Amino acid sequence: MASNFKSMKSSSQSEFSELTKKLNALNESQFRKDDETFWQPTVDKAGNGFAIIRFLPRVEGEDLPFVRYWDHGFKGPGGWYIELSRTSLRNSDGSTEDDPVTEYNNLRWAEGENSPGRAFVSGSDGKPGSKRRLHYISNIYVVDDPAEPKNNGTVRRYRYGIKVFGKVQNKMNPKYPGEVAFNPFDLWTGANFRLKIQKVEGQRNYDESQFDAPAPLNADDKVMEKVFLSQLPLRPLVDPSLFKSYAELKRKLDRVLNIRAGGNGSAAVETVEQEDAIPNQAHAQKTRAPAPIEEEAPPWETNDADDDLTPFQKLAAS
């Protein structure tokens, strides 16, 4: 294992190039909250929070230093629908698997502008509706957690949304001339990430978060090797065995939307959005992961997975 660490150091730049290619390919086109392998930032009563973390490189045997998945969380007349989306998975021919909620959303969206269907999907009164939400999971090193100092110096998994991922992406693919690209996941040429959370219009906001200047995680390679070897596998967290079958999801969707009872699913929905829900790992024993999603999301899917409302676990009892 140590030789693999030395090899990774010598190939740091080529690793960056390969990761950038895979990240560009991505863009071109039920978890336990009490899992101690996960870290989440603490926020105060006002909704503010701060911590310094470091994104870590890919685990040996895995393709990327992160995994990602889609889910849905909303309430209909028949109760809550809180499930992973099968659009996170791929068929053998490379196409995205079908998911009943995405199909239903497409039908409702087709009703046209200002229609009840579009209100159902996109949401109203500050609620984002039934659209998919995108989540990422990476290994991180906790540099400074002021609210929970016991976490300092530990390697944990971190679940985050598109807003934080955008900060990572912008460093790998800078938007403006003069900005130097770097790999935030690299132990030597990466950088600490200052996670700054504010409450804006009732939702978590990460706009003030930023990376420090690139620098090694530690001056001692032995320390960094220990961090590298402490990482946890990510692919089992999105193993296909965690996703319910299309038939199971369709039955639940029909019940939640009261379709079997003659309803048409057009009732206003409540939604669940939070930053720290993590897919259930009860069956995550395999190492095979679904291929990354490469298609562009429909216009009604804003991927806002960073909001902090009612936790999944309090609602998923149905």
The 3-class SS string of 105-172 reads HHHHHCCCCCCHHHHHHHCCCCCCCCCCEEEEEEEEEEEECCCCHHHCCCEEEEEEEHHHHHHHHHHH
- Kindly give, in sequence order, each residue whose CB lies less than 8 Å from that of residue 189, ignoring residues fewer than 6 positions away: 12, 16, 182, 183, 214, 216
91: domain CATH number is 3.90.198.10
CA atoms in the 13 A half-sphere facing the CB of 139 = 23
Host H or E run for residue 4: helix 2-10
Provide the residue range defining the domain that includes 307: 2-314
* Cβ 128 vs Cβ 304: under 8 Å: yes
In contact, 235 and 269? CB cutoff 8 Å = no
DSSP 90: B
- How many domains does the structure of the chain reveal? 1
* Size (the chain), residues: 318
Nearest in space to 160 (alpha carbons), one of 124, 126, 193, 130: 193
CA atoms within 13 A on the CB side of 270: 10
The radius of gyration of the chain from alpha carbons, rounded to an integer in Å, stands at 20
At CB < 8 A and 24+ separation, what contacts does 95-99 make? Answer: 96/293, 96/295, 97/246, 98/246, 99/246, 99/249
Q: From first to last of the 318 residues of the chain, give the pLDDT tens digit.
A: 555 777 767 777 676 666 666 555 544 434 555 578 999 999 999 999 999 999 999 999 999 999 999 999 888 888 889 999 999 999 999 898 999 999 999 999 999 988 998 888 987 766 668 999 999 999 999 999 999 999 999 999 999 999 999 999 999 999 888 888 999 999 999 999 999 999 988 788 999 999 999 999 999 999 999 999 999 999 999 999 999 999 999 999 999 998 764 455 555 555 544 443 334 433 333 333 333 333 334 444 444 444 332 322 233 333
